[in-house]
Structure 1
C-alpha cells in the first residue's frame, strides 16, 4: 500500500507510542517493560526501535563515527521512512500498539548536536506518521551522565564530553517544537524513580490514549 505524500498521513487503527530522551535515561528498558506490561494486559503490542534493525538502520546505528551532519541525518530519515512503510504502518493497520524506542524527537536532538537546524530535520522527515503520543524521558544530566559512563556510550554522541547536558538542553527545545506542531507530548523525569515506576506511569498514559481512541471509534 502506497503512503500518501502529505504532511499528515491518514490515521490508522493502531496506536503509535514513541519514547525519546537523552542517552542513559532508560528508553530501551522502558520500551521493553512497557511492551511486556501491555501484552500481559491483553493489548496487541509491536515493540520496535530506531534506527531500525534493517540494513539501512544498522548502517545508521553503527556509523556515527563515519557519518556526520547531513549525511547521518539523511541516513536516519531514510531508515525512518522505510521502517514506517515496511514495519510500523503495517502493524498500525493491523490494530497493534506500536511502542518505538526513539523517533523524530531523537533526530531533532542528535542532528542538532551535529549542527543541523531543526527545520532541516523536519524537511527530511516530511510526511512521517505522527505518533498518538510521544513520551520524552528526562533526567538530571549529572545522574544520566553517570549511568552513561558506567554503561559505556553507544555512539560518538554519547561518548562526547558533557553529552548529557547538551542532549537535555536540546530535548527541552524539541518538546516545545513538537507541541507547536500539534504533537501530543508527555515528559517524565526518570532521575529518582526505578524502571518499574516509570513503566507504570507510561502505561497509564498509553491506556488513556487507548481509551480515547476507543471512545472515538465505537
Structure 2
C-alpha cells in the first residue's frame, strides 16, 4: 500500500524544452493515478514573484538572485510546506536547478546560489528536462523569448551546458535527480516515466537510504 505522505517534485529545464507541456501531462498522469496533486510554480503568482518574473530587464546579478530566493522562501512557507503537511504531492515548475542555471547566466557563482538557498527544502525528486540545443533553439524561436535570459546569444547551448552542471551539483548535495531527454519523446511518455519514478519513491520503506 502506498503511504499517504507528502512528496516534493520539481521540474526544470531550458527555455523551449517543452517544460510547460510536460508538466501539464505529469499533473494529468498523477491525477489519473489517484494521487493528491498540488501544482505550483516559481516565480510565484504573487507580488514578490511577479516582481522577479517581470523584472528580468530591471534586476540582475545578486539583486535578481535575492529576489528569486526571497520568493522561494515565501513560497515554501505559504504553499509548499502546508501542502506537503496535508499529504499532497507537490509538483513545482522551476526550483533550485533553475537558479543554478539562470543566476549563473547572470554572473552569480554556484557557491553564492547555494548559500542563498541554504535553508530551502530539498525536493524528494528533481526532474531536469533536456534536449538537443539546436532543437531547443528552434522551439524557442518559434514561441518567442520570455525573458532576457532567452534573448541572450546562444542561450540554448549555454542553458544546456549549465543544466548538465546543475544536475551534478544537485546530486552532490544529496538530491535525487531524474534527467529526461525531451528531444523526440512525447510529453505523455515523459509524464509516465516521471509518474513511475514518483510511485517507486512513494512505495519505498521510509528507512531505506
**Does 1:85 pair with 2:85?**
no
Structure 2: stretches of 5+ with no match in the other structure: none
Supply the RMSD in Å over aligned alpha carbons.
1.3
The CA deviation at 1:50 is 0.6
**Does 1:159 pair with 2:137?**
no
Q: Which one of the candidate residues 187, 190, 193 is aligned to 1:201?
A: 193
Q: Which runs of 4+ in 1 moved over 6 A?
A: none
Q: SS where residue 58 of structure 2 aligns?
A: coil
The 1-side partners of 2:120 and 2:66 are apart by 14
In structure 1, the residue matched to 2:92 is 100
- The number of equivalent residue pairs is 204
1:171-186 matches, within 5 Å, as 171-186=163-178
Q: Which one of the candidate residues 113, 119, 134 is aligned to 1:127?
A: 119
**Does 1:118 pair with 2:121?**
no
The CA deviation at 1:143 is 0.1
The 1-side partners of 2:76 and 2:172 are apart by 23
In structure 1, the residue matched to 2:206 is 216
Give yes or no for contact 2:127–2:179 (8 Å, CA) kept in 1. Answer: yes
Q: SS where residue 216 of structure 1 aligns?
A: coil
In structure 2, the residue matched to 1:51 is 43
Give yes or no for contact 1:32–1:47 (8 Å, CA) kept in 2. Answer: no
The 1-side partners of 2:206 and 2:59 are apart by 44
- With structure 1 as the length reference, what TM-score do the two structures score? 0.91
The 1-side partners of 2:30 and 2:149 are apart by 32
Structure 1: stretches of 5+ with no match in the other structure: 1-11
Give yes or no for contact 1:142–1:164 (8 Å, CA) kept in 2. Answer: yes
**Does 1:143 pair with 2:135?**
yes
State the Cα deviation string for residues 32-84 of structure 1 (Å, max 9, x = none): 11111111221000001111111101110111011100110000000000000
- With structure 2 as the length reference, what TM-score do the two structures score? 0.95
The 2-side partners of 1:113 and 1:65 are apart by 14
Give yes or no for contact 1:29–1:195 (8 Å, CA) kept in 2. Answer: yes
